[in-house]
DNA sequence: TAAGATTGAGTCCTCAATCTTC
DNA sequence: GAAGATTGAGGACTCAATCTTA
């Protein structure tokens, strides 16, 4: 029970982090009518390029059904367009429209501004270390999911 | 756009962290019939002692309506008991039962074991630094919420 | 009037079932 | 049969409305 001292704080802070993050960033749809999940999916498509839905689901680490509904919403809003893959008629390839790219860039600025405010008194080394440890944690969880 | 290099990875890793964490730990109810949220609320009551619902909601950083439903579920399962506050007839005070304490201790062991596996190749210094930075991030988000 | 608590409506996610195409 | 994708059911959370008591 000795290393409870080591893992206890991690468990507690992570739990709080999840709930606080969702409360801070997961605000209801803005005037544009789109929410956090739509923004994040649009970001994936904008930065990493077009992809089919199953690929997006894997990259975003969510269920395919979620991506299916999100893409339908983004498509209805005119932010992405869907093109049928001529080589595989089961699949669709999703691409951002110009409107979608503009929308994402505006949203990203608001997001980054909030992040800069929150981490204003951190040193660059701390910010880099936070991203690095977070990345290692993600890698460990991914490996655990594979190995299961 | 220069510090996109600094905040971009943070945004990306945190987004992935949230989704992966939920997939890894937010499994559907086990044989006991209770899920992650019930476990976390029970942990709060077990470790920090009895409290009324509004206090629990504040500590857990979720809406009061969520805690209200969670407490009702835990009470139905016999893991917590509710006592009316004699000094304030609006409020109830929630306490864990012996059954609830046992349940939480068993669950915590499973949780800690998974955490130990995931972070097995981290140094103690890295684990401590991760918890510390996470705590600072939480503090920054809490301050931002207050100041709004 | 404000605080403690409950309930109903709407949204996002997971899981399971289904359909189409490889 | 397996992979890409869609749809329906159920759970958890947010928000708003409501009720009771301080």
Q: Is B148's pLDDT higher than 80?
A: no
Whole-structure pTM over 0.85, yes or no? yes
Mean pLDDT of B57-73: 93
Contacts of B88 (CB under 8 A, 6+ apart): none
- Compute the nearest-CA separation of A33 from chain B (Å): 21
- Compute the nearest-CA separation of B16 from chain A (Å): 7
Q: Is B29's pLDDT higher than 90?
A: no
Nearest CB partner across the interface for B144, out of A9, A118, A142: A118
Q: Name residue A92's beta-bridge partners.
A: A84
Please give the nucleotide, over all strands, whose C1' is closest to the CA of residue B65.
C6
**Distances B40 to A12, B18, B57, B107, B134 between C-alpha atoms, Å:** 9, 16, 12, 10, 18
DSSP secondary structure code for residue B93 in this structure: E
pLDDT of residue A31: 53
Tens-of-pLDDT digits for all 148 residues of chain A?
A: 445 678 989 988 998 898 888 888 766 555 556 677 788 899 999 999 999 999 999 999 899 999 999 999 999 999 999 999 999 999 999 999 999 999 999 888 888 888 999 999 999 999 999 999 999 999 999 888 877 5
Chain B span 98-137 residues with beta carbon within 7 Å of strand C: none
Q: Are B115 and B127 in contact (CB under 8 A)?
A: no
**Distances B8 to A35, A36, A47, B134 between C-alpha atoms, Å:** 20, 16, 11, 18
Q: Are B10 and A115 in contact (CB under 8 A)?
A: yes
Please state the φ and ψ torsions of residue B94, each to the nearest 5 degrees: -105, 130
- How far is residue B148's CA from residue A117's CA, in Å, rounded to a whole number? 13
């Amino acid at each position: 029970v000795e290393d409870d001292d080591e893992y206890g704080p991690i468990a507690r802070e992570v739990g709080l982090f999840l709930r606080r993050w969702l409360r801070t960033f997961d605000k209801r749809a803005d005037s544009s009518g789109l929410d956090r999940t739509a923004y994040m999916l649009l970001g994936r498509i904008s930065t990493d390029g077009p992809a089919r839905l199953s690929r997006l689901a894997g990259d975003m680490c969510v269920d395919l059904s979620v991506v299916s509904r999100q893409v339908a919403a983004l498509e209805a809003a005119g932010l992405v367009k869907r093109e049928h893959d001529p080589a595989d008629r089961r699949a669709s390839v999703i691409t951002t429209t110009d409107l979608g790219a503009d929308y994402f860039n505006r949203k990203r600025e608001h997001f980054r501004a909030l992040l800069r405010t929150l981490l204003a008194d951190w040193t660059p080394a701390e910010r880099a270390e936070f991203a690095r440890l977070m990345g290692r944690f993600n890698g460990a969880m991914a490996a655990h999911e594979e190995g299961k």
